[in-house]
């Protein structure tokens, strides 16, 4: 679809993946960025490609010539500062209107890492993962194209085929490379309930809802910008993640000893009504889980009581004279 308003997104689309075709095409970067212009402007600047900082010119040379099955992926969260970009309506790029509400913005300079420049050759990409801290995300393709395959997280749906998750979801095991997963599990995954797939082309932006598993692979050399955010609809999930999984929280500066406490404080100061609504939603969800547990326990106790009253149970093949089994 071309675009969404903030209201349309918040009321209908926060839990659904989708692609918008218009917002990116208004960006200055859409008009001026390609490998040639970026090499000329930023060739000496170092960017992070996985665990290594590369001069951009050297990475572009690698990108143009690699035959690696799993090429290194440039993924840099300081690109705005390094490239001296301006972000906003009249800047080099801006957040699409419908994704404008971001409650992590209440943290100011203490917010976790939230935006990345992503560049890679054909075949590069990311294996299955969820976005950090239960955030939602948008991913805007400026050059190239990306294949996405995604799965929701719920009690109804298991993890994607070929992906194995520890009980607390802190550890994820999957095939070593995207190519291995595609060869072994792609056909099964496409037939699995909940699967959503699509191609995001240059000039388009894709929405990744909070908690969704996703794998991404570049179908051609690609340049993209992505950003994580917290819409009001998913504030309860973010609060629960920060509080209940502190060992999995990521992206905060080392000086932030209690991300949950800091976020709670800032939300109380700046958005008290939104925070109160989210806390009430969490409490209702907790009460619902407790009620289901109580019903299960009650049902089990009643079943045991019936067994006690019958002094055993019977099984047989239709006759009425079989002996009871104690």
Q: Any residues with CB less than 8 A from the CB of 62 and at least 6 apart, and which?
A: 54, 71, 72
pLDDT of residue 308: 54
Please give the Cα distance from 42 to 285 (Å, whole number).
49
pLDDT of residue 309: 53
pLDDT at 180 over 50: yes
pLDDT at 313 over 50: no
Please give the Cα distance from 321 to 34 (Å, whole number).
86
pLDDT of residue 176: 73
Residue 119 contacts residue 223 (beta carbons within 8 Å):
yes
This model's pTM is above 0.95: no
pLDDT of residue 300: 53
Residue 79 contacts residue 114 (beta carbons within 8 Å):
no
2-6, 125-129, 162-166, 305-309: least confidently modelled range? 305-309
User: Which pLDDT band, with edges at 50, 70 and 90, does 321 fall under?
Assistant: very low
User: Which pLDDT band, with edges at 50, 70 and 90, does 323 fall under?
Assistant: very low
Helices (H), 233-313: 235-244, 259-270, 272-309
pLDDT at 289 over 80: no
For strands 172-173 and 52-55, give the pairing. unpaired
pLDDT of residue 166: 82
**Across the chain, what does the average pLDDT equal?**
89
**Number of helices and strands in the chain (H, E):** 9, 12
Assign 13 to helix, strand or coil: helix
17-31, 62-76, 240-254, 312-326: least confidently modelled range? 312-326
User: Which pLDDT band, with edges at 50, 70 and 90, does 292 fall under?
Assistant: low
User: Which pLDDT band, with edges at 50, 70 and 90, does 222 fall under?
Assistant: very high
């Amino acid at each position: 679809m071309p675009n969404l308003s903030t209201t349309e997104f918040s009321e209908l689309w926060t839990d659904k993946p989708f692609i918008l075709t218009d917002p990116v095409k208004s960006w200055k970067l859409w008009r001026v960025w390609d490998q040639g212009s970026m090499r000329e402007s930023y060739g000496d600047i170092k960017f992070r490609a996985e665990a290594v900082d590369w001069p951009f010119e050297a990475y572009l040379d690698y990108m143009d010539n690699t035959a690696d099955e799993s090429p290194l992926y440039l993924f840099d969260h300081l690109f705005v500062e390094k490239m001296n970009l301006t972000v906003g309506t009249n800047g080099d790029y801006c957040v699409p209107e419908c994704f404008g509400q971001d409650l992590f913005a209440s943290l100011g300079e203490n917010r976790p890492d939230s935006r990345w420049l992503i560049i890679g050759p054909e075949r590069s990409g990311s294996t299955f993962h969820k976005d950090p801290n239960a955030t939602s995300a948008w991913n805007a393709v400026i050059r190239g194209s990306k294949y996405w395959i995604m799965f929701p997280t719920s009690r109804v749906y298991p993890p994607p085929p070929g992906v194995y998750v520890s009980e607390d979801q802190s550890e994820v095991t999957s095939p070593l490379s995207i190519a291995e997963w595609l060869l072994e599990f792609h056909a099964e995954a496409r037939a699995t309930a909940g699967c959503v797939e699509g191609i995001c082309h240059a000039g388009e932006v894709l929405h990744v809802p909070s908690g969704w598993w996703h794998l991404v692979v570049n179908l051609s050399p690609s340049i993209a910008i992505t950003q994580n955010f917290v819409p009001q609809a998913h504030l309860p999930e973010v609060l629960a993640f920060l509080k209940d999984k502190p060992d999995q929280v990521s992206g905060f500066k080392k000086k932030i000893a209690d991300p949950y406490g800091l976020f709670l404080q800032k939300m109380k100061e700046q958005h008290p009504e939104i925070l109160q609504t989210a806390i009430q939603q969490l409490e209702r969800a907790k009460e619902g889980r407790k009620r289901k547990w109580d019903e299960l326990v009650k049902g089990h106790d009643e079943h045991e009581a019936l067994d006690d009253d019958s002094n055993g149970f019977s099984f047989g093949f239709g006759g009425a004279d079989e002996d009871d089994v104690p």
